Chain A
């Protein structure tokens, strides 16, 4: 269970950060924090897709009705794909930064990176270092799977809770 001061601290940090949505599962308890702005972003996306659907049949309007029907069938597809992609992204595990600091993808300049897309990892695999004030924090994956994407650049400042990697469990 999270202590109340820990919860308060999490809320404070999320509030100050650019993080839109935050989920934490810990020993059976689950905390979800979502900023109001987040749902607005989703709503904005949907009319955009609808517009694409509408413009597609708009252009070939003089063509035969059969074709138009086909177009209408084809047109919704991008929407479905987008939803599937979003769902897929959602199903991917995000390794997030446990603190504010500088992201390093390798132990020292010139060395190979800890991990790259395609690499199989387990819970104890070190995926990167986050450093602040000469405190070096080797981040372990805490999940096993395959690295799909590295979301930040070497040397970039990362926020508390910022996603660093996408992992296919």
Chain B
């Protein structure tokens, strides 16, 4: 009901909406309408109320609800269905649940706060209320399974471009798809696939981005950053989410039509891993060498000191400390 009222005000585009037309459109009493408007005010929306004219929406808070994200969104498929939650255990869990229930390609799950946000290897992801973008995007790609890992590099390009376009922050990609500023983590992307031998059921891209975090717990302070820390002022989440969805849709179409090559070039243009000495930490031990590039699969190529080239499919990567310092 609240969403429907909000949608009517968004459609009115700043004009007055009478209480009578609201109650007619929604088939409820004017008292009920007034209660919902009071609730919206508590969430941070401001209305002007004028006798005989009705209400006019003056400003909206930066809450990435379904109505807010869909208003002005320039994407056809991604975000056509949005599920917003004030608080949730994990948008990723919810996305799996909705996917299994048949939610369509392009469904987006957004939360203001996550209690159980997760990163790689089940590591907890700090995701408090109002400060970040905690979002999962459901795709149903018609691709052979072995190509799906490339979508994680594609997602990183979509996000890093969106950050630059909306805030000017020059974020970089660490292979395969961590997004960093000045070597500190700004955004993590975790993708999960559900497939059978010959068919992909669905794929979920989970994005966790620190947007308005002013300070981090001490154990994260040296390794994490936020857009607010980088820019110095609060950053609006809604336009950033919209741009991520728009870029993702655009790049996905490009990828389906032309394959990985154009994505690879864009990825390389934003990458900070290539040409650096890196330490790769894997489940059993670690390996050091020079990251020389990615191949047509998206695999990282590392030249070891004995000259052998290792194809890396998964690892935690750190820049090796330079021997001269």
Contact = CB atoms under 8 A, between A and B. Distances in A.
B283 interface: yes
Interface in A130-169: 131-138, 140, 142, 154-155, 157, 160
A132 B299 CA distance: 8
Contacts of B146: 13, 98-100, 160
B144 A134 contact: no
Contacts of A100: 146, 313
A69 interface: no
Kindly name the residue among A108, A137, A140, A154 whose own CB sees the greatest number of chain B CB atoms within 10 A: A137
B193 A138 contact: yes
Kindly name the residue among A6, A132, A142 whose own CB sees the greatest number of chain B CB atoms within 10 A: A132
Kindly name the residue among A98, A142, A155 whose own CB sees the greatest number of chain B CB atoms within 10 A: A98
Interface in B165-199: 176-177, 189-198
A134 B282 CA distance: 13
Contacts of A26: 197-198
Contacts of A65: none
Contacts of B307: none
Nearest to B204: A136
A155 B284 contact: yes
Contact of B149 (A24, A101, A108, A142): A101
B314 A132 contact: yes
A101 B314 contact: yes
A134 B191 contact: yes
A132 to B, nearest CB: 4
Contacts of A154: 283
Contact of B196 (A13, A133, A140): A140
Contacts of B197: 24, 26, 98, 142
Nearest to A139: B195
B150 interface: yes
A124 to B, nearest CB: 10
Contact of B282 (A102, A111, A132): A102
B283 A135 contact: no
Contact of A135 (B191, B284, B299): B191
B77 to A, nearest CB: 21
A155 B145 contact: no
Contact of B144 (A6, A104, A137, A140): A6
B313 A133 contact: yes
A107 B177 contact: no
A9 B314 contact: no
Given A100-B313, A102-B283, A160-B146, A136 B190 contact: yes
Contacts of A135: 148-149, 151-152, 191-193, 203
Interface in A1-55: 6, 9, 13, 24, 26
A130 to B, nearest CB: 9
A63 to B, nearest CB: 53
B152 A134 contact: yes
Contacts of A109: 121-122
A133 B153 contact: yes
B135 to A, nearest CB: 16
Contacts of B194: 138
B132 interface: no
B145 A134 contact: no
A134 B189 contact: yes
22 contacts: A13-B146, A26-B198, A98-B195, A98-B197, A99-B149, A102-B283, A108-B123, A109-B122, A132-B149, A132-B313, A133-B152, A133-B177, A133-B313, A134-B149, A134-B176, A134-B190, A134-B314, A135-B191, A135-B192, A137-B145, A137-B192, A157-B313
Given A111-B122, A134-B177, 12 more contacts: A9-B144, A26-B197, A26-B198, A98-B197, A100-B313, A101-B149, A107-B122, A108-B121, A109-B121, A132-B313, A134-B314, A136-B190
Interface of B: 120-123, 144-146, 148-153, 176-177, 189-198, 203, 282-284, 298-299, 313-314
